[in-house]
Each structure stands twice: as structure tokens, then as C-alpha cells.
Amino acid sequence: MKLVTGNSNIPLAKAVSEYLETPLTDCVVTKFADKEIFVEVNENVRGEDVFVLQSTSYPANDNLMELLIVIDALRRSSARRITAVIPYFGYARQDRKSAPRTPISAKLVSNLITEAGANRVLTLDLHANQIQGFFDLPTDNLTSAPVMVRDIKQHYDTSKVMVVSPDVGGVVRARNVARRIGAPLAIVDKRRPKAGVSEVMNVIGDVEGHSCIMIDDIVDSGGTLCNAAEALLEKGAKEVSAYITHGVLSGTACERVGGSKLKELVISDSILETDVEAATANIRRFSIAELMGEAIARTASEQSVSSLFD
């Protein structure tokens, strides 16, 4: 087995490498003066089972091109099997035609990864589960729920916790966490007047006196979470925190979260931490390295991956 990484999240790749006790393959990913990406694999990978770890996070297009070119380099180097390990799958929010004459970019990106030469895909908490069907090759969509649950049990009294979905679309994800810790479930019903703007309308469920924990897959601008936190506190919640898999945190999101009523925002390390995020007092991280590493190990040894979540 060989483990290769691009430049999107080297700390996570190193953590996965340590868990697997497998050194990262010597692979140079650089740019020419005109920003063209160049890849050179400096180890023999002929006949190897190769895993390429690369999130397609900011800068999304650069990291996506790195992934595609690394896969192509490995295919042309006669790797036996290439698995694209994508902790954060960018373009996942463009999974359908949201208006006339708009693209389904998630399908386009999945086609690109397939055509580049990947043999299978391993990803985490896709924004929409149907994206698995966009790939014409085996795709494992892992869930971070077990890692979230472990962290919640370490930091909260679960007998006083209420799990909250910040929108109707995330109910299944939140229910999964609620079931694992034996907590009740509430839902924040919101209306989105236009893209990137959310307006909280109502809270479904009695949250009074509870420590509310919102569960979601992506936090981008942070507006939804901050508005939902205010609505929950107005309904009598004791405190409000949030557990999110992918911390996109674009623009002034960190400042917004830092100045909000959220007790803490806990996110995974699927996306590389920024300096602004590290300096925000109420943002904390949990690691998915063990989860990703175990999934890679089971894939390499042809064992069940789904049993990780039983």
C-alpha cells in the first residue's frame, strides 16, 4: 500500500500516515511560474494499491487539479489500484439544477475524477448522499458521527443534551447522532430568501433548559448557525454549541462565529485550519485521522468499511 498526498491538507495526511504506520510516498506537487501544476512521483508504484488523500477545499480549483493530476501520474506509473480519498468533496452543494440553465457541478467533478483514472472513492459526509451515484465506480461515504459522539460524551452531560438540526434537510444526520447518545431531537425551520442568506422562522421541539448541540455537515458563512443559536436561546435553551464536519468558514465567518452566542463550534480537520480560525476562541477541532486511516486500512485489506459504523 502507498499513501500519497497533495497540498490541500498535509497535517491530516501526516496524521493518517502515523495511524497506518505507513510513510507518505515521495511525491512532488509544485507549480510552474504560470501556476500550471506539475506532479512527479519519486517512488516506484507499479502494481501498488495507492491512496491519494486530497480535500478539494479552498482554493478549490487548484486542489481539484492537484488531485486529478496526481491520479493521472499514478495511472501512467502502472499503479494497480488508485483510491481517491477526499475528506471534503468540494462542489457537493451543486448536486442538482437549482434554477434553469445552471450546472450540476458535482456530477462534472465526479466524471473528472473517474476519467483521470481513479478506481474507487473514499469520502466523508457528502453534502448530498445521492452524489455517491454520480460516480461510476465504488464509492464509500463515511460518517463522522462516531467521532462526534465520542467528543460530545467527553465534554457534555448527555442526559441534559438535545440534538438540533439547523435545517430540515439535515434531520437524518442529526437523528443519527441523537440516537447514538440517547438524546431528544429538535429542528430549526428556516427560510432562505436568497443564496447565502438564511432567516430562522421557528423551532420545532421543546428546547427549554437543554444544552443544545447543532449537527451539520458544512459551515460556510456561519450565518445559519449563528441565527439558529439565537433562536434556540430565545426559546429557553441553556446553551448552544455546534458540531460540524467540514469547516469551510469563508470570508468573515470566523469573526461572525467569534462574536456570536455559540458556546463553541467544533469542526473536524477535513479542511486545513487557517490562522484566523486558530485565533477564534470558541472554535475547536476534532480529528478524523483515525477514522480515515481505519477506512483506508480496511479498503486495502478488502474488509468491511460499513462495519466501522455499526
Q: Would you name the residues annotated as active-site residues?
A: 190
DSSP state of 88: S
Binding site, by residue number, is 34-36, 93-94, 127, 167, 192, 216, 220-224
Binding site for Mg(2+), by residue number, is 127, 167
Q: How far apart are CA 207 and CA 232, in angstroms?
A: 7
The continuous run of DSSP H or E covering 4 comes out as strand 2-5
Q: How far apart are CA 310 and CA 307, in angstroms?
A: 5
* CA separation, residue 132 to residues 95, 104, 121, 136, 260 (Å): 11, 14, 9, 9, 35
Cell numbers at residue 49, please? 494499491
What are 266's strand-pairing partners?
A: 243, 284
Count of H helices and E strands in the chain?
Answer: 9, 14
